[in-house]
Amino acid sequence: MQPRQKLFQKSPVRLIAFYLPQFHPIPENDAWWGAGFTEWTNVTRAKPLFPGHYQPHIPGHLGFYDLRLPETRTAQAELAEAHGIEGFCYWHYWFEGKRLLERPFQEVLSSGEPDFPFCLAWANESWSRRWLGEEKDILQAQRYSLGDDVTHARWLSRAFADDRYMRVRGRPLFLIYRPADLPNPLKTTEIIREQSVKNGAGEPYLLGIDAHCPGVDCRRLGFDGTLVFAPQLGFLPEFMEDGRTLAKWRRNLKLGVRSSKLKLYDSITARRLMGGPRRDFPVYPCVFVGWDNTPRRSEHAIIIESDVGAFENDLREKIVAVSQRDPEERIVFVNAWNEWAEGNHLEPDLKHGLAYLDACRRAGRGADGVEESMRAGSSGP
């Protein structure tokens, strides 16, 4: 395990990319959405909503892959590592012992391949037909119990024990998407810690994601820290308004689109608005690649202009924000590696190619200069 720890310490920042496993069919999705459904089903049926609108997003280097193939998973890891990504944070779907979309990660875990670091984030929300995390027309409900917490923690401890599992100060890194939804978060986090130690995996380093509780210090809920999620769509004006408004007309006209219905935002303004409330407690930052969920919501989508430069600047700012921390805690999360149906992917497409991945590599290398400037500044004249 020690060589893996030394590997990231050579880099001034740890970039971790969220990873969606919904690129292979499962019986549940067949029943809910039609035979053979995968994320590509949504991606390929998207249509442009206005002149110049980039849809559909067509994959480049990796093609329309199937995550049941080990060759695909290896190619993803090689591409990520070559561009400064330390590892993947796999979304983990657990429903009272039932796992969904589990095959890609389970095969990574059982096969030992690819030899690329990873951690897990529990996406603890119900699945519905709305694609918005709302509990309407529930397909798979998320329910909680302390007994299930024990069962879940025992399963997690097996993943935590893997040599590739990413750690902070020697502790396996585990995230929970909706920490405030836990009926008893202090008890749940206690159980996860106790069971992990009991099963020989060590005490985990727990992060609560503030996607649905912005401004909350998750340490109050039993976590070790808070991840400030991006994008925070709730801070965008009229983000849930699907009807026509004068404000939309004015905002869209500035972007060259004559529509009073579409929800369009330029990247720089959107990133500024989504910064959220001021936080007087330590946080782990997250940078989103882009956003256009037209494949899922058609004319009701939220569309943020694609801008490689804005992404890179945002990433550099977040790297600077963590640059004074202990090397193991200089973590910046990137959302996402492959959220194709939300127009939010580092993976190359036909339009941008490797541009977003190259931006990650440049920003990571640029952190060397930040670190060097800090050392020079602290040494005096």
For every residue of 311-370, DSSP letters joined together read HHHHHHHHHHHHTTS-GGG-EEEEE-SSBGGGTB-SS-BTTTBTHHHHHHHHHHHHHHHH
88 close to 80: Cβ distance less than 8 angstroms: yes
Over residues 252-265, the pLDDT tens digits come to 999 999 999 999 99
Q: What distance in Å separates the CA atoms of residue 199 and residue 321, rounded to the nearest whole number? A: 35
Residue 225: phi, psi to the nearest 5?
-170, 180
3-state secondary structure at position 220: helix
First to last CA, the chain: 41
What confidence score (pLDDT) does residue 374 get? 43
Q: What distance in Å separates the CA atoms of residue 271 and residue 276, rounded to the nearest whole number? A: 10
Residue 340 lies in a domain: yes
Q: What distance in Å separates the CA atoms of residue 290 and residue 227, rounded to the nearest whole number? A: 18
Residue 276 lies in a domain: no
Q: What distance in Å separates the CA atoms of residue 91 and residue 121, rounded to the nearest whole number? A: 5
Q: What distance in Å separates the CA atoms of residue 76 and residue 70, rounded to the nearest whole number? A: 10
Beta strands in 210-298 (DSSP E): 225-228, 263-265, 283-288, 291-292
Enclosing H/E stretch for 127: strand 127-128
38 close to 25: Cβ distance less than 8 angstroms: yes
Residue 247 lies in a domain: no
Residue 136: which pLDDT band, with cuts at 50, 70 and 90? low
Residue 366: which pLDDT band, with cuts at 50, 70 and 90? confident
Q: What distance in Å separates the CA atoms of residue 96 and residue 101, rounded to the nearest whole number? A: 15
Over residues 31-83, the pLDDT tens digits come to 999 999 999 999 999 999 999 999 999 999 999 999 999 999 999 999 999 99
Q: CB atoms < 10 A from the CB of 378, how many?
A: 8
Which residues contact residue 279 at a Cβ distance below 8 angstroms, ignoring those fewer than 6 apart?
A: 215, 217, 226, 228
Sign of CA dihedral 360, 110, 26, 211: negative
Give 378 or 319, the one with higher predicted confidence: 319
Residue 335: which pLDDT band, with cuts at 50, 70 and 90? very high
Over residues 201-211, the pLDDT tens digits come to 999 999 999 99
Residue 376: which pLDDT band, with cuts at 50, 70 and 90? very low
Q: Is the pLDDT of residue 289 over 70?
A: yes
What confidence score (pLDDT) does residue 12 get? 83
Q: Is the pLDDT of residue 217 over 60?
A: yes
Query: What percent of the chain is modeled with pLDDT above 70?
Result: 92
Which residues contact residue 331 at a Cβ distance below 8 angstroms, ignoring those fewer than 6 apart?
A: 13, 14, 16, 168, 284, 322
Q: CB atoms < 10 A from the CB of 250, how many?
A: 10
Residue 174 lies in a domain: yes
Residue 227 lies in a domain: yes
What confidence score (pLDDT) does residue 371 get? 53
Residue 12 lies in a domain: yes
3-state secondary structure at position 294: helix
Q: Write down the pTM of the prediction.
A: 0.93
Residue 274 lies in a domain: no
CA–CA distances in Å: residue 93 to residues 124, 152, 161, 247, 273: 7, 11, 19, 38, 30
118 close to 165: Cβ distance less than 8 angstroms: yes
Domains of the chain: total? 1
Q: Is the pLDDT of residue 86 over 80?
A: yes
CATH of the domain at 107: 3.20.20.80
Indicate the residue type of 163.
D
Q: Is the pLDDT of residue 157 over 50?
A: yes
Residue 255 lies in a domain: no
* Domain encompassing residue 103: 2-236+282-291+307-378
Q: What distance in Å separates the CA atoms of residue 119 and residue 7, rounded to the nearest whole number? A: 16
335 alpha carbon, distance to own chain's centre? 4
